[in-house]
């Protein structure tokens, strides 16, 4: 589409559709995620935004009724190919959820747990420190890493979850409304953190907050319900472009109506 889009794609969805049982969640989505960019996915509730990013690391495999068709290429490899280990995919493409969900363990163990499971051979203390620093949490917790992760504030818990995701040394981080349960200051901290993280990682964020998408992302994808299908709610990709383009002069009337609050 645009130069910035074509320049080194890390994830590429081709004609991707997902259904739960007989109900299609979204249909025929094709989009490329460029490396080291932040891509926001916006759209009304129930249009399949979360389902879409869950396809990017095969989280939907965990839902028995979910059926995925089409392809998702990660660094050129089809992650739905026959010999692909979904656990390995999730190690490379980490995820942070809406509600902070630290393990009921110490801060240290929250970070080291995944590494231990993965048979991490390096220095664990260094990994914990590095991950917490990258998640901009180190200075706030370094004095007592034995404290329970659950004793932290909501914003800190979310950064702990980001640190935990970073500890498996992924390339891509999927964020599903990571700040919707946080206050404005904690939200801005997460957004600032995202800007630092994109130097090393690629971030895909689902958000309901238009201001967050416009502040934090380089590219924005607008997914909406397919108007041609009146009987059911099926998501389709309406527009995908540079964030500034989407928020100043979107190409599609439907995008315009949605972002300026005149949707339906």
The minimum distance between CB 252 and another protein, in angstroms, equals 10
Asked if 248 interacts with another protein (CB under 8 A), we say yes
Asked if 102 interacts with another protein (CB under 8 A), we say no
The minimum distance between CB 182 and another protein, in angstroms, equals 18
Q: Which residue in the set 2, 154, 250, 254 belongs to the binding site for another protein (CB under 8 A)?
A: 250
Asked if 214 interacts with another protein (CB under 8 A), we say yes
Q: Which residue in the set 61, 71, 171, 256 belongs to the binding site for another protein (CB under 8 A)?
A: 256
The minimum distance between CB 7 and another protein, in angstroms, equals 24
Q: Which residue in the set 30, 211, 229, 232 belongs to the binding site for another protein (CB under 8 A)?
A: 211
**H or E, element range at 114:** helix 107-117
Asked if 2 interacts with another protein (CB under 8 A), we say no
Encode burial over 11-25: b for 16+ CB neighbours within 10 A, e otherwise. bbbeebbbbeeeebb
Which residues have a Cβ under 8 Å from the Cβ of 239 and sit 6 or more positions away?
Answer: 221, 222, 246, 250, 251, 252, 254, 255
- The percent helix, strand, coil of the chain (3-state, each to 5) is 40, 25, 35
Asked if 43 interacts with another protein (CB under 8 A), we say no
The minimum distance between CB 101 and another protein, in angstroms, equals 30
Residue labelled with tokens 């390339």 = 171
Q: Which residue in the set 84, 86, 188, 210 belongs to the binding site for another protein (CB under 8 A)?
A: 210
Asked if 184 interacts with another protein (CB under 8 A), we say no
CA nearest neighbour of 126 among 144, 108, 141, 152: 108
Asked if 242 interacts with another protein (CB under 8 A), we say no
Contact assessment for residue 43 and residue 263, using Cβ atoms and an 8 Å cutoff: no
Give the relative orientation of helices 154-166 and 124-134 as an angle to the nearest 10 degrees.
Answer: 130
Give the relative orientation of helices 107-117 and 154-166 as an angle to the nearest 10 degrees.
Answer: 20
Based on CB atoms, which residue is closest to another protein, 158 or 243? 243
Q: Which residue in the set 82, 104, 184, 261 belongs to the binding site for another protein (CB under 8 A)?
A: 261
Which residues would be at the binding site for another protein (CB under 8 A)?
210-211, 214, 247-250, 255-256, 259-262
């Amino acid at each position: 589409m645009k130069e910035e889009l074509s320049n080194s794609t890390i994830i590429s969805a081709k004609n991707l559709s997902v259904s739960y049982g007989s109900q299609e969640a979204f249909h025929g989505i094709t989009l490329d995620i460029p490396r080291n960019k932040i891509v926001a996915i916006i759209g009304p509730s129930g249009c399949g935004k979360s389902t879409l990013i869950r396809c990017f690391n095969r989280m939907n495999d965990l839902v028995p009724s979910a059926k995925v068709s089409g392809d998702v290429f990660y660094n050129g490899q089809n992650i739905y190919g026959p010999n692909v280990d979904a656990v390995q995919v999730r190690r490379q493409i980490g995820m942070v959820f809406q509600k902070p969900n630290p393990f009921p363990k110490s801060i240290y163990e929250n970070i080291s747990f995944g590494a231990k499971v993965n048979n991490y051979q390096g220095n664990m203390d260094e990994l914990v420190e590095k991950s917490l620093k990258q998640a901009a949490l180190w200075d706030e917790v370094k004095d007592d890493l034995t404290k329970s992760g659950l004793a932290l504030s909501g914003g800190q818990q979310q950064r702990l979850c980001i640190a935990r995701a970073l500890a498996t040394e992924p390339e891509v981080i999927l964020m599903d409304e990571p700040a919707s349960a946080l206050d404005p200051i904690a939200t801005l901290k997460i957004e600032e953190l995202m800007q630092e993280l994109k130097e090393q990682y690629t971030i895909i964020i689902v958000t309901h907050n238009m201001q967050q998408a416009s502040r934090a992302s380089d590219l924005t994808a607008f997914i909406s319900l397919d108007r041609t299908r009146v009987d059911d709610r099926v998501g389709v990709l309406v527009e995908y472009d540079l964030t500034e383009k989407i928020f100043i002069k979107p190409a599609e009337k439907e995008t315009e109506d949605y972002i300026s609050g005149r949707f339906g």
